[in-house]
Structure 1
């Protein structure tokens, strides 16, 4: 028969495991929007180009002509020289947008900006476990403070970006899974970025897996969750015709082999993968076989629960038989 102390330990760890499992499931359910249609107004790049009437466009221009890019050299700290291939990609945006202000934020200037303008966030910024999280976070603060268009260094420009300046705020949507944070744009002081930047503190957890920690604490998953939360607070689009408060998703599906999808009119995609960790490929594989993964996961969970109940019933049955038998010390 199991001793009382062992039985208490088993019950304690079983309850702790169930609580952790329940919390994990609640977070997954909270983040179910990753795999479904997102809020906001979808617009293709072709539609944005056709709506543009040239320099004499009568629509209000919300987004300033500023391009932000962030370069933090994790391999050679202090070296602020862009790799040659990224410099070549950067020049496509400089040449396509003459007269625009171009800002390249290094590790030093990024931290100085946070320390000067958002000192309340500096401790969290410095304590991020992965350097790419600082790159994620600073882009949000830059758009909140300056406005403009943010691009990752592996994204280049195919054309003048002026047609994209007439929407108060937009992010990119790959059309499958979470929203993207590699290309973003906004007018200064948009309330979405205010909500998102203040949400960075309570979402700053380490989830053991690097990919999950990066994505869920500051990256695409985090951005998607805050996007859905923000839209849940807004009345329906038809209820407020004020254009300035409408948020857009610029469609940018990267499956170039699909002729039925809208082409990339403004941007290019070059070398990336600068923050790939050991678990990236695992989660990419899960994403490509999501239904199989979910089926296997729930099968495993169901099987574990069934086995646990069966073992518990056998234990209870054996315990009952022992209780009904006289102990040897009382036998003559």
Structure 2
């Protein structure tokens, strides 16, 4: 069962020692809808202590990541594996209680064009998916941390949602999971929404913004086809 814990992360490397007011309001929404749940906002020092205690062999890799969001990605996998509960990015606002997940072992949210997102996850402590996510971090790093790979893909494939999607595909056949619907994930019927996404993407660089720009305008273009092919090759 998933414990009544809510985890969020602010490393301070994306601007300021504390989250901006919009993120603080989003964090408050999680506490508002879960009065009797434990809430924890993790900082850099606490995360380093956790790696030292739980996965010391990954400390060097954690420090080697060139982008702060990669450290945040790795940290969320370790936190959930160690403690269980819900992890949500600070740009996700909670609209309704997640009490329904009490009988689940794993809850994930689908993302487009395929795969699952790592910005909202819930799990029991010690779930094998999250152990595998941690175990696979070194291979993903060596595969994608290349000077000719765009930072967007270094992040997404090295530690982010595509890393999660690849590892989940390895274990999906024997891993019971409750997948949120698009509406529950905030991309559909607002009456069914559990969460709402606010302006975030504090990690996004020029390449991410360029890809988003092109995707929105050329959805049926060759670029879209190439991106899907890259994702399929990556997930296979």
Deviation of residue 203 (structure 1)?
A: 0.7
Distance 1:295 1:134 in 2: 28
In the alignment, is the contact (CA less than 8 A) between 2:14 and 2:202 conserved in 1?
no
Distance 1:294 1:86 in 2: 33
Pick from 53, 72, 75 the counterpart of residue 116 of structure 1.
Answer: 53
Distance 1:157 1:246 in 2: 24
In the alignment, is the contact (CA less than 8 A) between 1:168 and 1:187 conserved in 2?
yes
In the alignment, is the contact (CA less than 8 A) between 2:78 and 2:134 conserved in 1?
yes
Match of residue 233 from structure 2: none
Deviation of residue 71 (structure 1)?
A: 0.4
Q: Rate the CA distance shift 1:91–1:285 in 2: closer, same or farther, 3 A.
A: same
Q: Rate the CA distance shift 1:206–1:90 in 2: closer, same or farther, 3 A.
A: same
Pick from 221, 226, 229 the counterpart of residue 292 of structure 1.
Answer: 221
Secondary structure of 2:47's aligned partner: helix
Q: Rate the CA distance shift 1:290–1:228 in 2: closer, same or farther, 3 A.
A: farther
Match of residue 231 from structure 1: 172
Match of residue 229 from structure 2: none
Q: Rate the CA distance shift 1:231–1:75 in 2: closer, same or farther, 3 A.
A: closer
Secondary structure of 2:7's aligned partner: strand
Deviation of residue 196 (structure 1)?
A: 1.3
Distance 1:275 1:142 in 2: 20
Q: Which has the larger radius of gyration?
A: 1
Pick from 157, 162, 171 the counterpart of residue 99 of structure 2.
Answer: 162
Match of residue 64 from structure 1: 3
Q: Which runs of 5+ in 2 are unaligned?
A: 227-236
Q: What RMSD over aligned residues (CA atoms) do the two structures have, in Å? A: 2.3
Distance 2:20 2:127 in 1: 33
Distance 1:132 1:295 in 2: 25
Distance 1:175 1:246 in 2: 21
In the alignment, is the contact (CA less than 8 A) between 1:286 and 1:293 conserved in 2?
no
Secondary structure of 2:139's aligned partner: coil
In the alignment, is the contact (CA less than 8 A) between 1:252 and 1:264 conserved in 2?
no
2:115 is the alignment partner of 1:178: yes
Q: Rate the CA distance shift 1:281–1:89 in 2: closer, same or farther, 3 A.
A: same
In the alignment, is the contact (CA less than 8 A) between 2:105 and 2:124 conserved in 1?
yes
Distance 2:186 2:22 in 1: 23
Of 221-230 and 279-288, more deviation after overlay is shown by 279-288
Deviation of residue 114 (structure 1)?
A: 1.0
Distance 1:274 1:252 in 2: 23
Deviation of residue 142 (structure 1)?
A: 0.8
Pick from 3, 13, 19 the counterpart of residue 74 of structure 1.
Answer: 13
Distance 2:194 2:225 in 1: 41
In the alignment, is the contact (CA less than 8 A) between 2:215 and 2:224 conserved in 1?
no
Output the TM-score relative to the length of structure 1: 0.61
2:144 is the alignment partner of 1:215: no
Match of residue 248 from structure 1: 178
Secondary structure of 1:63's aligned partner: coil
**Paired residues for 1:298-317 under 5 Å:** none
Match of residue 269 from structure 1: 197
